[in-house]
Amino acid sequence: MIEIEGVESVTDADFDERVLGEASLPVLVEFTADWCPPCRQIAPVLGAVAAEERGRIRIVQLDVDGNPATTARYGVLAMPTLMVFRAGEPVKSMVGARAKRTLLRELEDVLPPVAHRN
């Protein structure tokens, strides 16, 4: 799987605990595969968003080839599929690579508000 700084890997075995059990932050799951060129294309975007939005969203990746149960459970047919989970429920799904600006705009409605410092 493509290593992305700030993005953890999850598996069929720990998906429920690490994604669905996360109550404090939304979790963006990238369903990915080593053989997927758009997945390589979006990797630096996900790394940048993970760093910039730390504390507002967690980003994880799941290898579809090694984790068929979770992939089938959510009906993932194309890579990369980006799915946002909040309080254990999928709340948004996007398919395909995109620019950082586009991804951030698409995530606006699922991210918690920015805490302002005085």
Q: State the catalytic residues.
A: 36, 39
- Distance CA(82)–CA(46), nearest Å, equals 10
Task: Calculate ∠ Cα 79-103-50, nearest 5°.
Answer: 90
- Asked if 83 and 28 count as a contact pair (C-beta separation under 8 A), the reply is yes
